[in-house]
Structure 1
Amino acid sequence: MKDHVHHSAATGYKTAADTYVRGRPDYPPQVADWLTATLGLNADTSVVDLGAGTGKFTARLVATGAQVIAVEPVPQMLEKLSEAFPGVLAVNGTATDLPLPDASVDVVVCAQAFHWFSSADALTEIARVLKPGGRLGLVWNLRDARVSWVPKLDAIVNALEGDTPRFYTGAWRRAFPHPAFGPLQAQQFGHGHTGSPEDVIFNRVRSTSFVSALPAAERARVDEQMRDLIAAEPELRGREVLTVPYVTEAFVAVKTL
């Protein structure tokens, strides 16, 4: 199954599981209503957390009362998820090889994940396990580039991405339209990630797959670039607690076949 996982994810997330837990932002409160009202999750439904990682979004799904099945191909990430959510069924799998029967779940959610496997084949496999009328939810947390210093931080990260799939390029959209799904419907929510600079800036960047996969000397250079950015920005310099602004993009598509 490793052959189906992009090399940046297979290498970077293997070593970054702990940093991922510390550095990744949570999701805004509005997501709770989106999960229940838009995706229809409740105690009578089942949901697959596809590309579940360490379980950052799993807690949101568990809170709906739905039966949650977490699917993740990187063993180190899956181990963290299982430790955090012992009551959740956590299984190894990929978007093109889901270990589930046909028409067996009500909802599939991909949080911070769909760009890794966005393809017609993945959507066909997701449609296979969804019940008729089932829903596919896609969620991403993005730094809000409308705040002046955020594009400077993004530039440090983006310069290193290589061939790694990213949400912001829009390439994931090429998987749509797909004959099994209706049109994508989008919503957007704003929020912030508050904490120490070590977590909300340094560990967030370090948890990026292709940054984590760099040799130690190159990772040290990235840290130095971030220190220089913080020193140069009055909004960041000398602060023990920072809030990084985020926008959450949420999409849903309904299975039509």
Structure 2
Amino acid sequence: MNDQVHHSAAAGYKTAAETYVKGRPDYPPQVSQWLSETLGLDRYQTVIDLGAGTGKFTGRLVATGAQVIAVEPVAQMLEKLSEAWPQVLAVSGTATDLPLPDACVDVVVCAQAFHWFASAEALTEIARVLKPGGKLGLIWNLRDTQVSWVPKLDAIVNALEGDTPRYYTGAWRKAFPHPVFGALQLQQFHHGHTGSPEDVIVNRVRSTSFIAALPDAQRAKVDEQVRALIASEPQLRNKDVVTVPYETAAFVAVKQK
């Protein structure tokens, strides 16, 4: 199965599971309405949390009342998820090899994950497990570059991405159109991740797969760059609590056949 997982994810997320929990932002309140109204999730539905990671989004799905199945290929992440959400069925699998029967779920959600496996093959496998008329939800949090210091932080991170798939590049969109799914429909929300600079900035950067996979010396250099940025920005310098601005993009596509 590791052969199906990008090397940045396979290496980085093995060591970054704890940092991922600390550094990743939550999702805005409007997401609850998106899940219930746009995706139609309620206690009569079954949903797959695909690429579920440590379960950062799993709680949102649990809150809808739906039966949740979490699918994640990285064992260390799946372990964290199971600890946080013991009531959820957590299984090892990938987007191109889902360990589930045909037409068994109403919704598949990929939170902060679809860019890792965006392909016609993955969409075909997702469509296989969806019931006719079932929905695919794709959702991402992205730092809001309208705030002046955010592009500077992004530049530190993006310089190290190599061949790692990223949402912001838009390359994931090449998987669409797909013959089984209708057109993508987009809703956007804004929110902030508030906490100590160590958690919401430093640990957020550390939780990035390709940075977590770096040798210790290189990771330490990234830490230095990030802390230097914090020290140089009036909005961040000497602050115990800061807010990192985020935009959330939420897409849905409906299975047509």
**TM-score under structure 1 length normalisation:** 1.00
The equivalent of 1:161 in structure 2 is 161
The equivalent of 2:46 in structure 1 is 46
The equivalent of 1:75 in structure 2 is 75
The equivalent of 1:182 in structure 2 is 182
The equivalent of 1:148 in structure 2 is 148
Map 1:34-113 to 2 at 5 A. Answer: 34-113=34-113
How much does 1:71 deviate? 0.1
The equivalent of 1:247 in structure 2 is 247
How much does 1:165 deviate? 0.1
Alignment of 1:129 onto 2:129: yes
Which letter does structure 2 place at the counterpart of 1:171?
A
Moved over 2 A (4+): none
How much does 1:231 deviate? 1.2
Which letter does structure 2 place at the counterpart of 1:244?
V
Aligned residue for 2:68, secondary structure, equals strand
How much does 1:145 deviate? 0.3
Which whole-Å deviations, capped at 9, do the CAs of 1:30-79 have from their partners, x for residues lacking one?
00000000000000000000000000000000000000000000000000
Which whole-Å deviations, capped at 9, do the CAs of 1:7-34 have from their partners, x for residues lacking one?
0000000000000000000000000000
Aligned counterparts of 1:83 and 1:245: Cα–Cα separation in 2: 29
The equivalent of 1:207 in structure 2 is 207
Aligned residue for 2:47, secondary structure, equals strand
Aligned counterparts of 2:101 and 2:147: Cα–Cα separation in 1: 45
How much does 1:218 deviate? 0.4
How much does 1:228 deviate? 1.0
The equivalent of 1:115 in structure 2 is 115
Q: Could you list the runs of 5+ residues in structure 1 that have no partner in the other structure?
A: none
Deviates more, 1:225-234 or 1:148-157: 225-234
- Kindly report the root-mean-square deviation, in angstroms, between the aligned alpha carbons of the 2 structures: 0.3
Which letter does structure 2 place at the counterpart of 1:51?
G
Aligned counterparts of 2:171 and 2:98: Cα–Cα separation in 1: 23
The equivalent of 1:30 in structure 2 is 30
Q: How many residues align?
A: 257
Alignment of 1:2 onto 2:7: no
Aligned counterparts of 1:185 and 1:174: Cα–Cα separation in 2: 15
Which whole-Å deviations, capped at 9, do the CAs of 1:70-100 have from their partners, x for residues lacking one?
0000000000000000000000000000001
Q: Could you list the runs of 5+ residues in structure 2 that have no partner in the other structure?
A: none
Aligned counterparts of 2:8 and 2:231: Cα–Cα separation in 1: 30
Which letter does structure 2 place at the counterpart of 1:57?
F
Aligned counterparts of 2:173 and 2:230: Cα–Cα separation in 1: 34
